[in-house]
Amino acid sequence: MSEQSELIVEQIQIGPMANFTYLVGSRSTREVAIVDPAWDIDALLERIDAADYKLTAALVTHYHPDHVGGSFGGNSIEGLAQLMAKRGVKAYVHKSEAEGVRKVTGLSESDLARVDSGDRLTIGDVEVEFLHTPGHTPGSQCFRIKNTLVSGDTLFINGCGRVDLPGSDPEAMYHSLRHLCSLPDDTLLLPGHNYAHVPNATMGETKSQNTYLNIRDLDTWKNLMGG
C-alpha cells in the first residue's frame, strides 16, 4: 500500500472490533515497530518473523484494551503484556497515558518509554514523530512517519474517537483535530479501526468527507459534542 518504497507500512485488521494494528519501519534494515499490538499476539509475531522483520519497539496510541490488551467487559484481551513476555521491546507511550497503560496491561515502569509531543524515535533509517492528540483519552498520540499518520482513535476517515468516555475531553479533541488538519493533504491517514468504506485515505480525501474536520469554531463543536 505504500509508494514510499523505503518504508515498511503494513495495516493488519485484527480482533472482533475492527481494530488495525500496524507494522512500520525501514525496508533497508527490516527493523519495525508494532503499533497497538492486541487480540492475537502469536499471529502478529508469526507475521513479523515470516517477513524476516526485526521488532524493535511497540508504539501505543492510547490505553484502551482493544489497542493494548487487558480486561474488557469481563473478557481478557491479549496485548502488550503477552508481546513483551516474548520479545524484549519497550512500549512507547505518551507520558500522560503511562499510568492508564500500566493499569490495564499490568506492565511495569521499566517496560515503558514515556514520550512527549515532538519526540522522535528512529527505526532503522526511518524516523517516527510522536504527536500528542488528547481528546479520546488524555494521552492519546498519533505517529507521523514521513507522509503517513497513524492516528489511533483520534481521527477516523469518516469520524473521530468518542469523547463521552471516562477521561475524554471534547474541547481537547477539537484542538487535536484542528492540529491534524494542518498536515499536508497528501498525508496517508491510517486509523485505529476499520470504520469506513475504505481502510485508509489521504488527509485531503478525509478533510473533504469528514464532518468533524469541517467544524471550525469551538462553540459549534461543543454544541454538537457536549463538554
Q: Which spans of this chain sit near Zn ion (rule: CB under 5 A)?
A: 64, 153
Angle at 5 between CA 125 and CA 176, to 5 degrees: 70
Residue 52 C-beta: closest distance to Zn ion, Å: 32
Q: Kindly tell me which of 27 and 64 has the beta carbon lying closer to Zn ion.
A: 64
Cβ atoms of residues 28 and 6 within 8 Å: yes
Helix H, strand E, coil C: the string for the chain is CCCCCCEEEEEEEECCCCEEEEEEEECCCCEEEEECCCCCHHHHHHHHHHCCCEEEEEECCCCCHHHHCEEECCEEECCHHHHHHHCCCCEEEECCCHHHHHHHHCCCHHHEEEECCCCEEEECCEEEEEEECCCCCCCCEEEEECCEEEEECCECCCCECCCCCCCCCHHHHHHHHHHHHCCCCCCEEEECECCCCCCCEEHHHHHHHCHHHHCCCHHHHHHHHCC
Residue 44 C-beta: closest distance to Zn ion, Å: 19
Residue 82 C-beta: closest distance to Zn ion, Å: 19
Q: Kindly tell me which of 111 and 153 has the beta carbon lying closer to Zn ion.
A: 153
Cβ atoms of residues 68 and 141 within 8 Å: no
Residue 65 C-beta: closest distance to Zn ion, Å: 9
Residue 105 C-beta: closest distance to Zn ion, Å: 14
Q: Kindly tell me which of 64 and 94 has the beta carbon lying closer to Zn ion.
A: 64
Q: Kindly tell me which of 8 and 157 has the beta carbon lying closer to Zn ion.
A: 157
Q: Kindly tell me which of 19 and 56 has the beta carbon lying closer to Zn ion.
A: 19
Q: Kindly tell me which of 140 and 206 has the beta carbon lying closer to Zn ion.
A: 140
Q: Kindly tell me which of 123 and 172 has the beta carbon lying closer to Zn ion.
A: 172
Closest CA to 59 of 39, 85, 79: 79
Residue 139 C-beta: closest distance to Zn ion, Å: 12
Residue 66 C-beta: closest distance to Zn ion, Å: 7
